[in-house]
Structure 1
Amino acid sequence: MALGRWAIASGVKNDHGLKRPERPALAGHARLFVHPAYQRLVVNEPFIKRFIPFLIILFVLALALMRVIALYDIRQDISDAGQAKLSLIAKSVATDLFDTDQIQTKSPEVMQGELETSAPPDAAKTGRLVLAVNSEEKIVAAVPPQPDLLNRYLDDWMGPGQPLTTLGERAGVLQLTLPSGEDVIATVYNGKNSAGSIAVVQPVSSLYSGWRRQVSRETIVFIATSIVLVILGFAFHAQAARAQEADSIYLETETRFHMALRRGRSGLWDWDLSRGAIFWSQSMFEILGLAPRDALLSIREVAQLVNPEDTDLIELANGLVRTGEGQVDREFRMRHADGHWVWVRARAEVVLDKQDDPHLVGIAVDVTEQKRMAEASRMADLRLRDAIEAISEAFVLWDASDRLVMCNSKYQQLYGLPDNLVRPGTAYEEIVSGGRRPIIANAFPASGSDVGARSLEARLDDGRWLQINERRTKDGGFVSVGTDITTLKENEKQLLENERALTDTVADLRHSRQQLEKQAQQLVDLAEKYAEEKNKAEDASRIKSEFLANVSHELRTPLNAIIGFSEMMLSGVFGDLGDEKYAEYCRDIRESGRFLLSIISDILDMARLESGRLDLAPEIIEVGNLVAEAVVSHADEAERGHVQIMTDVVPELVFQADRKAVRQILFNLVSNAIKFTPSGGAVKVSASRMKDGVCLMVEDTGIGIPQTAVAKLGRPFEQVQSQMTRNHKGSGLGLAIARSLAVLHGGYMEIASAEGVGTKISVFMPMRPQQPPKASAAA
């Protein structure tokens, strides 16, 4: 029968072997909860920390403002009292000094004595100066005596244009700056019948000297007070920071404690055996999916959560009392809030507090996952055994002491082992001696970086081959897998035979490769001969160009003489030729010479272009003027052939190029167009702006060119021969020169023609010359 609650407590008290904690174990669970007033202080402490410096600053500013206002009032009172004092002194002295006699009848010594007698005793204090001035505005006496001021005009000393010297006492007391630069307050009081006047002057610095000392004292007191307040503020802030840091450390420690319990799926228990009250940490509620509670739990509430099949809490407590063990280590199930069971392992110890009340204090760990993993491990072990048994290879596992852990039936069959040997724990030597021994054919380290791993090839006595792979396990044992490779061995034998055949084939291929190398060497020799012949051809072309240039240059001199002499004979410089036939012959000589000279000039230009000796001289070209020049130059030729010339040029179209070269391009194209356009036809010269250059285009309605012959045009000395073009003279260099000059500028030429319709030649020129390599220009 279970003992009652008090019986448990009394039984535990009589056990003197129980431990006592240094501090009370839950001596009043109310200490676990923060006091409400302190909690409110902790909540409002950040606002107080921010408010205290503001209050200090506000107090210091208010104190400073009050003292500034008070000092300003004191200064104003000092100023008013000083001005009143000056007025009283001036009036008193003027009344006594100018009552009867005129000031001019008295000597300076007398005036000095009377002024000292009339002046009040404190008239010269705090730097005040009393001056007696006669009717001529000259200073005749001074208190205290000022010899350097006697016989000086008051206007000179005070400064010209002062209201005090003109208005006297009606001007009152004024603050002014003397010519010497000193700031003073002064007043002037006139005597009776304009006999003279009294001037009283006091420096501003001496007037406020006492006030400045008071300001210094007040400033020192204010600074000291401010420093004390700031020190008190910093002390408060430091104390608050220490308190906050202590609270932070406490909260961090508490957080880490609860986090450790939560991460470890653990809960803290404190069972007051004498009162039957149980304290749980928040993590314990989380393990069971219950809402955390600050109140203590009763033993009845906890007992309802424990599975009665596993343990009885009351019986557990009675057992502790009867046995006197004082320690608990049990696993039992507790009901989760969702309804499922949670496995808990409780470890606790009975301790006494200062009142000798027993407490069962310990932790409860959620071991549900461990239970689940143990069950999963058991099932995995069963599946592993089934899988090992199902594989077709022979499998065996040995421990670090070379004893059998497990093997499958395939291993037992291959080695012919009896059932009494294939039991876990059997030594390796017993199994080797009890079964058949394979013949080891090859042994070599297994691929990979595993230390101690190896691979064997063995042949059994029945002719079968095995590949045995062995690997060390982490605990020092090793695992061995034997695979039947009989089929692979047969395939290997066949592969060896195929390799011999392949070797013979490779020898044949090597012989064929030698033949190919010989042919390749012959090709290399042919290539070298081709390169040599190419160089010879290029040298011949260069020699040809130089020869044409030299011949053209030599022919121009006699031709110029022939043309010149023919023109002189036609003009009759040295007399009439006589017969008209001579004149006709001279004209034929001149025209033939000119035609031959133009051909030679074209040949010379072509030779220069091919040799690359033509240099460009770029300049800004106005396209409209150049087109107009070309039209005018060929107007007679067009008129003779009854060909109409039209132009279409974009206004203000300019670009940079060699003017002579562009003129020659345009003249050659227009001349060709007129030459091959029949009577009644038309030639159109146009120029337009492109994206990055200029397009010059000459279009005619001439005989046209067959498509098969378009590719020939633009080559040196090439002409398209037809029934109509045979009657036209020419060297065939016009288009070639035009194309070469365009390429020399970095442009190009395009020819579009249709037989019987006409020809359109377009030359594209860049905005600035982009001279290509000489080889390209010559091409």
Structure 2
Amino acid sequence: MARALASDASTRRGDKESELEAGTAPSGLTLRTLTSSFRSSLNRSDGVMRRLIPGLAIVFIIVLALFRAGELAGDYSETQSTAETTLSLMASVVAGGLMSSEETLPETGYRTTLKRILADSLPAGATSQGRIFLVTDNAGTIVASAPIQPSLESRPISDLLAPSQPLTVFGARAGVLSVPVVFSTGGDSEQSLATVHHLDGQLGMIAVLQPESAVYADWRDDLSANVTLFVGTSLVLLAVIYGFFSQASRAETADDMYAATRGRIDTALTHGRCGLFDWDLSRGRMFWSSSLYELLGREPKDDILSFADVSDITHPDDIDLLGLAEHLLESGETLVDETFRMRHADGSWIWLRARGEIQSETGRAEPHLIGICIDITEQHELAEQSRMADLRLRDAIETISEAFVLWNARNELVICNSNYQSLHSLPNAVIKSGTPYKDVMAAAANAEVAPQPVTVRQRGGAPEGSYEAQLEDGRWLQISERRTKDGGFVSVGTDITALKKHEEKLMESEKRLKATVSDLQKSRQTLEIQARQLVEMADKYQEEKTRAEAANQAKSEFLANISHELRTPLNAIIGFSDIMTQEMFGPLGTNRYADYCKDIYSSGTYLLNVINDILDMSKIEAGRMSIETETVSAAAAADDASRIVTGAATEKNITVIAKVADTLMVQADKRALKQILLNLLANAVKFTPDNGTVTLTASPRGDKLRFEVNDTGIGISERDIERLAQPFVQVENQFTKTHQGSGLGLAIARSLVELHGGKLTIESKVKKGTSVSFTLPLSDTK
């Protein structure tokens, strides 16, 4: 991999252009161009498809309706033709049988014989589907029927016909007609198919009747089934069209949300002096966001940068990109945090801080380093100026022969020189900035005979003065003090022991005494001039320090503002992905869509939690986090926190135990206490292997209640414990590389504990476990 990067650096842009034309650019970056082209072509065809699909569906429904109507009409005609043919044939067959058997009929009582002959003459299945065979005598009276119809026999056949249909329509071989027939006396007529054949001899005619309801029964069933199928198909098509429009509208809304979100992010990155990058480590190609181009004063473009392009504008003394890539590929580390300079388009150098993480796309082995670059040029210059001012001030203080010390308005040590330290025999531990005056004097092995808080003694109302003090070893000091503009004061001490001794000797001689006094006055004047100069230098030092603190405050406010801006689109993304996962407005169509929605929901929730942590940390750093103490049940807070982490613990088969007595009450902010316990328990569960144990206990210690979280996790080395609770800091080892996290959990917990006046303590042994403890005041309420 390293040789590939070196080769790329030598071939520079010529190799870049040939590789892009050959399509060998990183898949994660080339996919962005392909996706953009496909999305633009899809947007162009989207309007046509939205107008074409409904028209095609309606044409399909109309064609289907016409086709099925034609088929049903043909079936109707075919059914009628078949029924008429069958009636005519059956009438002819039965008439032939009756005429051939007419000679066997007796003169009297022939009806019984006729009924038998009629039954024998019927073909198989002749009386099915409602067919009725009627035989009349020459007078037109019905004398036989099949199947036997006692109610119809002995009635004139003309009674069966509706009054509007005369009997004269029937003649020899008259065919089949549709006529209304009255089957019962006084009943309604029923439209039926009828055919009549005349007989010779003493028999008059044979009539065959079949109600049309029986003839078209099967056809009506087919009609009902086809109408039902057509209506169902039409409804399904309409539902598909509605789903298409619904999905198209949702896709358009999602595109608008994406464009708005991207616009906000680009605006935030541009105003926040930030930029995104994507570095394909295996091929040495890099993609920059437009904000990063603008940060370096260059024209934004979508082309992929080669390793040589980036290396040419990177300061070689700050970072070795080739060595960094080689180290990441060989060591397996995933997190990167580097500070370096890059050349601006105008030739100047810009200080950048790059923070990123190595990620690999699913199904591909090429690792990508994806992260953000922040412009820290101003902060770096301020820090450098502050450092140089501090060095100059310290050098100036060390060069003077007097003991120098600077205190702030709260009587806390700001700075002192080595003469002051050696004069009072102070250990190095107490000469740190911020140490109270009483602690410094308590640690002094050579303090003043009558120690007291240092105060400025004024002369004539002026905020300055001097006095003499004797030390425990007998030496004398001439101390000059002056009030600073911020309320503190500077003190310069001169060893006047020798002068004191000389003064005693010079008492014998007025001349020598006057000379000594004159020397002392000159020394005082010199000291006052030096003191004023040192005060001015101290003022400059304080001003530079204030500017550095203001820059840090601006950084915290920016993080808080960008966190608020990111939470709004994230809430929409999480909410809509949850709606799509639950399919509130209908099924998505494919199970993979549901999986994608779950991935969006989980990723959005994780990102929202990270942003919330950043927001809380920013509030704390900006001093806008306040707590309201009240009497809180320690057991209730412990149970709530344990219950929340139970889900994550169950997945790893980790036992979470909370041993907190119900009677223990603490004076604390309820929400802050719950967040402290939740962060500590969640951190313990995350870094505890499967089948481990996490224990939360609370025990009184005087007027304090000591909470302690113990786990059987991977442990922390001693060199990492000191920096672990710092913001965005995570301990790197083989186990924690597989876990996500913002690195703010312990930092937020520590800050909240300190806001309560407590202190967070971490004790750990590698591969044995970790113990995190803190104390809070016990409540007076029993």
Normalised by the size of structure 1, how large is the TM-score? 0.37
Rg larger in structure: 1
